[in-house]
Amino acid sequence: MFVVDTNVLVYAADVSAPEHGRCRALVERWRAGSSAWFLTWGICYEFLRVVTHPRVLRRPWSGRDANQFLAAVAAAPALGMLVQTERHRDVLRDVAAEVPGLAGNLWHDAHTAALMREHGIRRICTRDTDFHRFPFLETVDPMVSEP
């Protein structure tokens, strides 16, 4: 079981990214497979923000195209969506206590990390090195290995 971070989805979608071929192949393999993998709604919204933003992509996607991409990913039978439980506030408090210096954009990653802890998932597939700050997570760079 693992979570797929926003950047992996963005690379899978963006044909101009050097990481595109590898990330697209991995997402397609996960979509067709039977092993459990997960996203969060925050990751989905961040994907929509990134791929439709004209200052991020040279050729930003329309909202419709970005939503269609996510719909295709979400149709994978083994994909699950991590959502907050009644324990979320306590888990987030514990995460914040374990990771000093959380500020700014790191709170998005802390939200993902807290959701992962709530659901007993330790592995995240990401190129975002900020996830190394969460000692209870195992980060897997998709350009180096598979989760």
Contact 37, 79 (CB under 8 A): yes
Instruction: Choose which CATH entry (3.30.1360.20, 3.30.470.20, 3.30.930.10, 3.40.50.1010) describes domain 3-140.
Output: 3.40.50.1010
**Contact in structure between 1 and 121 (CB atoms under 8 Å):** yes
Pairing assessment for the beta strands 123-125 and 3-4 based on DSSP bridges: parallel
Cα→Cα distances 31→36, 70, 73, Å: 10, 12, 7
Tokens of residue 141, six digits: 């760079």
8 A C-beta contact, residue 73 and residue 63: no
For the segment 6-64, what is each residue's pLDDT rounded down to a tens digit?
999 999 999 999 999 999 999 999 999 999 999 999 999 999 999 999 998 889 999 99
Span 57-90, pLDDT tens digits = 889 999 999 999 999 999 999 999 999 999 999 9
